Structure 1
């Protein structure tokens, strides 16, 4: 906090101005601004204000008594009268360390409320920025969650694509095996049909052989009967000079001619 025990002294009236050419209004305004700055610095130290500042005090060179007499109470009073009565929040009190009896105004209502308004405005801005920051963070978290879900979805899609590719490869392999099996089945069917045809042909041959055997049996029985007849006719006991009839001879001849060995038996 600024040390109020060291009051800044007004500049020399004739310094750099050619002795008495100083603007009195500007001089009074400068004198009145010093306690106002001190009051503002004292009030900004409180906990309600988020910032603290310090004022570096540079002491002015000592002044002469004749120069100090030029600054009197009427000047402060006249400057005080020029102010707006509605802006003054507190009455002026004599400075505890004033040697010349100067009356210094402690604070002005407008100047006092201005830092509070600034603090309120800054707080509103901070609250607004914090709200926006929270919204941005929420949007960022939502975006990150969405990105995570999309990555998971992409991973699932890739896995499904891999499974589909494996299934397609398995289907192609199965189709190839099925095609080979169809070819083998066609070959087997052709072999079976060939075997069936061969069986039919064998059955036909068997039937033909059975017919031949039946014919041969009939022929053999006919020959046996013929031989028996001849042997009966040629036997001494029954020899009666009889000759087989022509009907019997024709039957025997036809029977012998039907046999494949007929050329062996001359008729």
Structure 2
């Protein structure tokens, strides 16, 4: 079956870059930069759908569900990247946000031939992680028509789960399957069809919003401080101290001592200092308030 792509916005030719190969390096980069500036505006237009998605994802996470990203190629890698950043940033369980890519682990580093064309495999991969109606599926594809992603969306819908699409072409097959359509129409790429560029940037911004917004909604952020950050290296140990100091206006010594008493848990240290409690009492108070700092105070 012949696949027709020329009707897709992301596959059309960009008149602003038709002669980019004749430009000086600086002028070439100016063209790319000018096109990149269109991306945040395209994402802005999709904010209502992104906002709805954040609330749905946060509700699922609070009920013990998961956020599952599914994509192929660049889109799949972006999902995996966003998922992998959640545990060190928000102290979340690694199983809470999961990224799946067509072709499996080897496709993270190199293209796997025909993997994205296997529609059935999308559902199989969800079965293998015990996907259920408690989870939320986010299908990611610039084209909005990747068979692997569509297969995963089919399976998720059949389970009764909420399905979200993230694409860069309007009225695409993914949008027709989704409960919530997020579409950032960034226009044609600087290099025709190279959707790792503007489309990929838009997807990255959107995924950042989905997880960051959801984590804020479930209490992983106090003010603008990531108070569940895990200290897995020397930089993050120092970051924890800075976070406790910023939240409580205490000294570095007080922050270090509080973190030591509570086993390096920022939230507990903050509640200890602000509410003048012991580590055990602060921990219990946080548990009573589902991990939210403000109600503890």
TM class by shorter-chain length?
under 0.3
Which one scores higher on RCO, CA 8 angstroms, separation ≥ 6?
Answer: 2
Question: What is the TM-score when the length of structure 2 is the normalising length?
Answer: 0.15
Question: What is the TM-score when the length of structure 1 is the normalising length?
Answer: 0.16
More strand by share: 2
More helix by share: 1
